[in-house]
Structure 1
Amino acid sequence: MMVHEANFDGLVGPTHNYSGLSTGNIASLTNSHQVSNPKMAALQGLKKMRFLANLGLIQGVIAPQMRPDIKMLRRLGFSGSDRRVLQQAAQHAPKLLTRCYSASSMWAANAATVSPSADTQDQRIHFTPANLASHFHRSIEPQTTARILAAMFNDDNHFCHHSPLPTSAQLGDEGAANHTRFCAQHQDQGVEMFVFGRYGFDHSQLSPSCYPARQTYEASAAIARLHQLDPQQVIMVQQNPLLIDQGVFHNDVIAVGNQQTLFCHQYAFLNQADVYLQLQQKMGGKLTIIEVPDNKVSVNDAISSYLFNSQLVTIPNGDISLILPQQCRDNPHVWQYIQQLLQVKQGINRVDLFDLNQSMQNGGGPACLRLRVVLTEAEHQAMNPAVLLTDSLFRRLQQWIDLHYRDRLVENDFTDPALLLASQTALDELTHILKLGSVYDFQRV
């Protein structure tokens, strides 16, 4: 049976901007209020998608959210025409307006948690959209995300879509950014590792003191139950709270895994030796752990370069590639370590670098941009083929971006009704290109 891991990247939206909304995300806060280039951002992400598709991997596209979220602004008391709503919000609640303009849906790793059919009791792929409860600007995403995923994976015989978990601090869920699956082959039953930052109901447990821990144990445990996973094939791991306080807001900032390889920092997890032991036991001792020493790559270097916010992929010729942002080459400590890693040939034997500067400045690297879905041949055939990247779709999306996207955006543009209309026009056209139907609120009135 042919089974493949597909990557679905979030397409950067037409209102990509730097508003510095994400507490605990150093890059987001550092670059807040800078001038953004939505066209460049979208094209940079699209170029990475095409490269992975040309490597022979299955590559798909996830449509962005509609921003600004006019419906949310109306729910919060602003009324009148769309122009009037924008003007009122800018005058009376400018910080609320910037959050309703959030560009964060581009980071598809936060869209959902996905368990493949090999791991689930009913042998369907299970999707749970993340509730993203830790930040208001992200908590407005799940409803549209659920519609988009349902339009992409639209056959109940193969796909099971759950509602997001209740939006509460105790059930904070940030999606696949805190979830890793290990296996010998993709068709095998895997070991699913859920990484959490704190306990939602037990305040006696160790937790960070400076920045919020976004994923809770309770949320991870609930998803494991909803996805009908074998408890013997699940491991719950706590992030190192000291690293969260240094800016490691998700596990994918400090660790990445693929099949039988875990690539992580020396201080990634609480009780790290015990984590390794549990993983090796569940994997039958067939897990390669590449632990990066702090004296070679410090936590600060890891965060600034996003070494671990990389994609670790197995390409058809058997090579395992680390998909890195250009910032890894620019950091001398990180780049020296990568050269040493390639020389020892310990589970990673090539690297591929990309200019994702627009995304990086907003706080997300290669891993943030993608959601992984393991597909059997039957599941591949059952999904919406229009979202899978081909040469034709690549050219069509290039043309679409060139037509609809601005090359300069600042927060003063947020009250421009022409920006709102242009975004609606662009995304309405995109739903036809990707054959998604009416997934946006403005299409459903």
Structure 2
Amino acid sequence: MSSVATLKTRETLRLCTAGSVDDGKSTFVGRLLHDTKSVLADQLESMEKSSKDRGFDGLDLSLLVDGLRAEREQGITIDVAYRYFATDKRTFILADTPGHVQYTRNTVTGMSTSQVVVVLIDARHGVVEQTRRHLNVAALLGVRHVILGVNKIDLVDFSESVFREIETEFNAAAHRLGIEDTHVVPISALRGDNVVEPSTNMPWYDGPTVLEVLEDFPVNRGRAADLDFRLPIQYVIREHATDYRGYAGRIEAGSVKVGDTVHLEGGRTTTVTHIDRPEASESAAHGDSVTLRLADDIDLARGDLISGAARPESVRSFAATVVALTEKDLQVGPMYKIRYGTKLVKGRITAIERSLDLDNVADDVLEPEKVTLNDIAHITIEVAEELPVEDYAARGAVGNFLLIDPSTGNTLAAGLIGHRLR
């Protein structure tokens, strides 16, 4: 019973892996799972058999991760996979993302909910274009903590000089993008050096293993908790027999308590009289799903925003950065649907300022005709009705939206309002 209680009280850290093709991400994740004893006995038995069938000397740990048939056949990771493991200190949710450039959208998905990104590079190749691309995406999404695993260090004879050169170049690239908290660790995922267990092959390195770094990060419960109160209304609950009227939704930022003054569209204000949940509550915070009752009988509907005093200005046009998610190009002119919070409105792109070359700023495409799959671009959007938008913050708590194809309902792009990379 005590171990169950301990597990329930452990903090959970969300992290993401990134790196170029063949840098060993799948083996690294497999090593984490294996060495933290997060692999079931039948999985281990199956992996041992598959490794032997492939003529692999020892365990092919990548088999724990590349679960899709297409991934096994091609020997690459092509989709985001979520893995779960735990230590005595905390639990972890890991998003393993692809390394190919054409799967940038998947990398964005994995990083968007992560507090920490672990970037893997091959010690023989050093910092490459895809490394810089992943750093740029991390900076774009507001990730503040990045670990670099200099993998396959055994293939350069555990060279300190090779490691230090890579460490210097990586830190310089990260700091240029505003990522100040970086940790660089020499590892061999295949052999297990400095992933979970300390290595005896590098006496010149006395720093922590990757797992030790992950265990020591303070778990950020979300900077959203420090923002002003935001509740996009999902449902208006009416009960005519008792005149009950409640506004249900999930608190996306900040907190609220009974007696607080809240702000509505048009400069109106009112007071929170009740916070309804399965149990009686006097307060609620970011992440809680609640129903608010207000002092005044106000006509509100799904999509309206209940906020704190720092309510964002309602506008008809705004600048944003978008990541294209499908093969249907985004262009200036056509009508799209914009999903912002719980609000769904019509809108169109009025300008595409530039499509980013994440490897070389000098190669950015200025005023391109369209935004294609996996592109990241700065655009301007005009909407059919005013929206209380604000700049992207707190890993998507506020300021994010979706561009949707009105004819099919497919999501075409994910957007970050006001955010500008470089």
TM tier relative to shorter chain: under 0.3
Give the TM-score normalised by structure 2: 0.22
Larger-Rg structure: 2
Task: Compare the two structures and name the one with the higher strand fraction.
Answer: 2
Task: Compare the two structures and name the one with the higher helix fraction.
Answer: 1
Larger relative contact order, structure 1 or 2 (CA cutoff 8 Å, min sep 6): 1
Give the TM-score normalised by structure 1: 0.21
